[in-house]
Structure 1
Amino acid sequence: MNYNLLNIPERTTKPRESGLTMVMDKGLSIREVEDLLDVAGDYIDMVKLGWATSYVTPKLKEKLQIYREAGIPFYFGGTLFEAFIVRNQFEDYRKVLDEFQMTYVEVSDGSLEMPHDEKCGYIRTLAQQATVLSEVGSKDAEKILAPYQWIELMRAELEAGAWKVIGEAREAGNVGLFRETGEVRQGLVKEIIHSIPAEKIIWEAPQKSQQVWFIKLVGANVNLGNIAPAEVIPVETIRLGLRGDTFSHFLNAKA
């Protein structure tokens, strides 16, 4: 840090199990990635190449090498996984993971109807090849899961070999964990946290109000995902109680 301040929440250090910041790369250029890592690389734990943007992103291997050299893990969005599955190309997908030297992989069923046993089978298989993150929740705003269903799905996917489970919110933060307005489904989240260890969950929270809510609920070292590149530094200040939204929250509390 650039100077000393007292009563700042203690942040975990890389490589960490909690306090993760996952950034959404929706097609950044090589120059944009270099600039992002120059200013915010210390606060980025992993990068998701949003949905299937990697299919059309130019100079993809060169860009991934920049992340790799910076020691920041990256992975394809779960929608790309689903695009291969719906076309009966699972083995082709595994070859793509090898070709691009992917050490992390996301398994999801947010756009594709899939029996849960089948999804867990993919998790078990891919866990032998890479570190698996599995996404729970639908991208369809009309498909509402009861809290007990979220918990059962998360437990099963962790048992199948997922390193972390991701709470679905989409890029906009208006489905899954959230209402259409972006408001957190507070009862749902609290029931999940009561049953699933907080460090095993990455909460997609692209909106500032959502980030603030999770940080106040779980603490400075909550795992947050789908953070926009320009919001990495602002999110870190929210974690540290250095933005108005959490300014007083950590002064007399232990993070």
Structure 2
Amino acid sequence: MNYILKNIPERTQKPRVNGLTMVMDKGLSVREVEDFLEVAGPHADIIKLGWSTSYVTPNLERKLKVYKDAGIPVYFGGTLFEAFIIRNQFDDYRRILDKYGMELAEVSDGSIEIGHEEKCEYIRKLSEQVTVISEVGSKDAAKILAPYKWINLMQAEIQAGAWKVIAEAREAGNVGIFRDSGEVRQGLIDEILTQIPAETIIWEAPQKAQQVWFIKLIGSNINLGNIAPSDVIPVETLRLGLRSDTFDHFLNL
């Protein structure tokens, strides 16, 4: 840091396994990635190339190399996995992961229906090849899962080999663990945390109010996902109690 302040929460150090900031890249250019990393690279832990944007992104290999050279893992969004699965191209997907030297892969079923045992089998197979992050929850706002179902799904996917499980919210933060207004489904979160360790979950929280809520609930070293590139430094200040929203939360006067 640039100077010393007392009573600042202690952050985990990179490479982190907890306190992750997962950033949503929705189509940054190579130059934009370079500029982003110059400022926010120390605070970004994982990059998701949102949904299927990698399919249409020019200079994909150059872009991935910039992230790799910065030591920041990248993975394709879960919707791309689903696009391959719905077309019966799972083996092709595995070859794509190898072609681009991906170390992470997301397994999700937010846009298509996949039997859960089948989904867990995909997790098991891919975990032999890469580190798997699975996503629980639907992108359809009309599909509301009971808390026990969230817990059962998360437990099964962790057992199948998922390193982390993502709690679905989409890039807008208005489905899954949130109501369509963006309000946190607090009872759901409380129930999940009775059975699933917080450090195992990446909470998609693209909105500032959502980020503040989770940081106050769990602490500075909560895993947060779907963070916009321009919000990475603002999120870090929230984690450290250096923004008005969390200013008093970490003070030890």
Partner secondary structure for residue 47 of structure 1: strand
> C-alpha root-mean-square deviation of aligned residues, in Å?
0.7
1:187 partnered with 2:187: yes
Partners of 1:225 and 1:159 in 2: how far apart? 22
1:106-121 to 2 correspondences below 5 Å: 106-121=106-121
Partner secondary structure for residue 9 of structure 1: coil
Partner secondary structure for residue 165 of structure 1: strand
Partners of 2:252 and 2:193 in 1: how far apart? 23
Partner of 1:171: 171
Partners of 1:24 and 1:150 in 2: how far apart? 23
Partners of 2:104 and 2:121 in 1: how far apart? 17
Partner of 1:236: 236
State the TM-score, normalized to the length of structure 2.
Answer: 0.99
**1:221 offset after TM fit, Å?**
0.2
Partners of 1:191 and 1:17 in 2: how far apart? 23
Partner secondary structure for residue 24 of structure 2: strand
Partners of 1:245 and 1:143 in 2: how far apart? 31
Partner secondary structure for residue 166 of structure 1: strand
Partner secondary structure for residue 134 of structure 2: strand
**1:141 offset after TM fit, Å?**
0.2
Partners of 2:92 and 2:186 in 1: how far apart? 40
Partner of 1:125: 125
**1:252 offset after TM fit, Å?**
2.6
Partners of 2:127 and 2:227 in 1: how far apart? 25
Partners of 2:70 and 2:17 in 1: how far apart? 19
Cα deviation code 1:181-227 (max 9, x no counterpart): 00000000111111101100000000000000000000000000000
Can you give the 5+ residue segments of structure 1 that lack an aligned partner in the other structure? none
Cα deviation code 1:132-185 (max 9, x no counterpart): 000000000000000000000000000000000000000000000000000000
Cα deviation code 1:116-144 (max 9, x no counterpart): 00000000000000000000000000000
**1:28 offset after TM fit, Å?**
0.2
Partners of 1:91 and 1:131 in 2: how far apart? 17
Partners of 2:172 and 2:72 in 1: how far apart? 24
Partners of 2:252 and 2:94 in 1: how far apart? 49
Partner of 1:47: 47
**1:231 offset after TM fit, Å?**
0.1
The aligned amino acid for 2:33 is V
1:33 partnered with 2:26: no
1:80 partnered with 2:80: yes
Partners of 1:204 and 1:193 in 2: how far apart? 15
Partner of 2:146: 146
The aligned amino acid for 1:124 is R
Partner of 2:60: 60
**1:16 offset after TM fit, Å?**
1.3
Partner secondary structure for residue 178 of structure 2: coil
Partners of 1:18 and 1:212 in 2: how far apart? 17
State the TM-score, normalized to the length of structure 1.
Answer: 0.99
1:209-224 to 2 correspondences below 5 Å: 209-224=209-224
Identity of paired residues, percent? Answer: 73
